[in-house]
Structure 1
Amino acid sequence: MAGRRDGAGASGAATARRSPPTERVVQVLDHLVARPGRRFGLSELARELDLSKPTCLGILTALTDAGYLIRDPIDKTYGLGPALIVAGRAAQRGFASGPVAHRHLTALSAEFGVMCTASAVVGDRIAILDVVGGTGSGAAARVGEVYPFAPPVGLMYVLWDTDDRIDRWLGREPTLPVSVDRVRLKAVIDECRRTGYLVESLTPGGRRPYALMAGVVSHDLAPEMREMLAELVSSPGERVVLPGTLGPDGTHRVNLIAAPVFDPDGHQSLVLALHLEREVDRAEIERCGRALVAAADAITADLGGRHAS
């Protein structure tokens, strides 16, 4: 009897420790995490999760205020938010890709004396997952920043993948109304696949329009803002430095060089970047590019990945 009482007491204590309100919050997050590419309205979520609308609205509002969810102001739907990127980044340290990528980024940052980043497409956003070097308000990227994964932003996340994935990216609703120069884009794809890395040129002023898009979706921007940014933002691939675009002395201002990490299925899983932010010549570009590709290849191998065929 004593044993049964102890067992019953333990069970009762466990039951008493449960928190139904907390479980409902977890239920909402689990539902959205399991469907990363979708957004849900209040009525739809409440119905699918068997919650009352007032309860569901309270949970959604609290999670949105904390940044764990985002709310589209036009269609009033909810999706995963940037605070989950930061939380996932912290959790990532305990898994293979986090420490492996961080180790190589640290070595690259020390070798070239610049900030290095790892980023990826998470759901329908581009997320900065790791940053080594470069701190303070002037840093070019910060862990947890998210950007729309739609033209004109995101080419480097499909550039070394299949042509089908490039076409699917180009087919996404544009963040800004910009045209696509297909001839230029093909030249960029061919060159970057030949070298294994991408060289991007943006002045600090040229980066500001992209910084304004951090953490937003296109519908979040007022029509006037979208039109203004569209005039400032270039077509996909236009800001990529090709050999023929180097200056007379062989130099060019480069803000970053990027290279891909591949998963076991041969698809891009991460993009590593060296943020040079200075004038460099052809030899320096090639030296940085080779080192970056070597690091990306090492991470691919360590994680059991393979290059796309």
Structure 2
Amino acid sequence: MSSWSPPTRRVVDVVEFLVQRGEQRCRLSDVARELDLNQATAYAILQELCAGGWTTRDPSSKTFTIGPAFVAMARQLDQTRPLTRSCSAAAQALAGETGFAASVSERLDDVLVVVDFVSAPDAPFRMSPGEQLPFAAPFGPCFAAWDVAEQRDHWVARSGVENATLAAQLEDYLNATRDRGFSVERMSAPMARTVQAMLQLHAEDVSDSMRAHINGVLSEITTAAALSPDGQTAALPVGALTAPVFDRHGRVALNVGVHPFRELTAQQILHIGGQVARHAQAIGVAPPAPS
């Protein structure tokens, strides 16, 4: 990923790395190796973070972990975001009710950030809080579906779609998502990772064969969405069922979803999607009326 300020990006990378490791302590060599930094740079960053209380160093083991100042700041921030806490509670409940992994995500400009992820036994798809996905088709349809027309167009354009028929299918997909109240995302775990990696590339760097693969995935997802869930009998492979949570301004603030990554019948899609939508609706305000 490109950066406006590589030195600042390195600091962010170190903090994110330590957060993801949780209570597991890391040596200087671990940080340098995992983030591809030289040890002098990694040491300077960690020393500065230690000085601010964002990290701590155990003098006996010479290892680092997240420090008390960072933890206190995170807790203070959590207390100011009741919507996020409610979504995390909903994800926990949904994981228990469905047996599937569940997640909470937030949109920050052109990026989707995983706020919380509740795993499930044998889940083929796992993410960690802080991980990012591009806000581009096919990711984040519940953010795009309730957005203004210009942003919906950008969601399609960011995926690099140039085919007018496919672009129209994606628009229909967003309309179906909005009408239904939740998204049905037809995608296997390996497919999700592959498309994510491809979409991280700049449009000009995507080869014709890669573009054809992405278009094939998008077409498959939109074709599934065009089917009537209550009239369809064949089971579909479903990667996610996601619903929007609205803030007091009527904007989509967060998404809550479950990740089956298995085949589901129409009845199962409606039942589980309805569960997700009810949890989401119980958190935020009512969705805005169609314009």
TM-score range, shorter chain: 0.5 to 0.7
CA distance in 1 between counterparts of 2:286 and 2:187 reads: 31
Amino acid at match of 2:197: L
Asked if structure 1 preserves the Cα contact closer than 8 Å seen for 2:235 and 2:265, the reply is: yes
1:281 to 260, 265, 282: 265
Distance apart, 1:123 and its partner CA: 3.3
3-state SS of 1:139 partner: coil
Q: Report the equivalent of 2:62.
A: none
Give the structure 2 partner of residue 308 of structure 1: 288
Letter paired with 1:252: L
1:233 aligns with 214
- 2:58 maps to none
Residue 244 (str. 1) matches residue 227 (str. 2): yes
In the TM superposition, what is the alpha-carbon distance from 1:137 to its structure 2 partner?
8.6
Once the two structures are superposed, the pairs formed by residues 202-281 of structure 1 within 5 Å of their partners are: 202-212=187-197, 217-219=200-202, 223=205, 227-234=208-215, 236=218, 238-240=220-222, 241-242=224-225, 244=227, 249-281=233-265
Are the structure 2 counterparts of residues 254 and 222 from structure 1 closer, same or farther at C-alpha, using a change threshold of 3 Å?
same
Match of 2:142 among 156, 176, 189: 156
How far apart are the structure 1 equivalents of 2:152 and 2:4?
Answer: 30
Structure 2 counterparts to residues 133-148 of structure 1, below 5 A:
133-134=119-120, 138-148=124-134
CA distance 1:262–1:115, change in 2 (3 Å):
same
Q: Superposition RMSD on alpha carbons, in Å? A: 3.5
Q: Distance in 1 between matches of 2:167 and 2:160?
A: 17
* Aligned pair partner of 1:117 in 103, 106, 118: 103
- Structure 1 199/248 Cα, relative in aligned 2: closer, same or farther at 3 Å? closer
Q: TM-score, normalised by structure 1?
A: 0.62
The equivalences for 1:30-69 within 5 A come to 41=4, 59-60=7-8, 62-63=10-11, 65-66=13-14
Tell me the SS of whatever aligns to 1:143: coil
Give the 3-state SS of the residue equivalent to 1:233 in structure 2. Answer: helix
Name 1:18's counterpart in structure 2: none
- Give the Cα–Cα distance (whole angstroms) in 1 for the partners of residues 4 and 228 of structure 2: 48
* Whole-angstrom CA distance in 2 between matches of 1:61 and 1:285: 41
Q: What letter is aligned with 2:8?
A: L
Number of the residue aligned with 1:194? 179
| Worse overlay, 280-289 or 231-240 | 231-240
Deviations 1:1-21 (A, max 9, x none): xxxxxxxxxxxxxxxxxxxxx
Deviates more, 1:287-296 or 1:243-252: 243-252
Paired position in structure 2 for 1:23: none
Alpha-carbon contact 2:142-2:182 (below 8 Å) kept: no
In 2, Cα distance between equivalents of 1:144 and 1:243: 32
Task: Tell me which moved more, 257-266 or 134-143.
Answer: 134-143
CA contact (8 A) 1:250 1:282 kept: yes
Count of residue pairs brought into register by the alignment: 229
Contact 1:159 1:189 in 2 (8 A): yes
For residues 186 and 175 of structure 1, what CA distance do their matches in structure 2 show? 13
Structure 1 unaligned residues grouped into runs of 5+: 1-38, 43-56, 69-85
Q: 2:78 aligns with which of 78, 93, 101?
A: 93
Alpha carbons of 1:66 and 1:293: their partners in 2 closer, same or farther (altered >3 Å)? same
Secondary structure at the aligned position of 1:140 is classed as: coil
Alpha-carbon distance change, 264 to 236 in structure 1, aligned in 2, over 3 angstroms: farther
**Counterpart amino acid of 1:276?**
P
Aligned-residue offset at 1:128? 0.8
Aligned partner of 1:298 in structure 2 is 282
Equivalent residue, structure 1, for 2:170:
185
Q: Which amino acid aligns with 1:66?
A: V
Decide which structure has the larger Cα Rg and report it.
Answer: 1
Partners of 2:232 and 2:250 in 1: how far apart?
38
Question: What runs of 5+ residues in structure 2 fail to find an aligned partner?
Answer: 17-65
**Which moves more between the two structures, 279-288 or 190-199?**
190-199
Partners of 1:177 and 1:227 within 8 A in 2? no
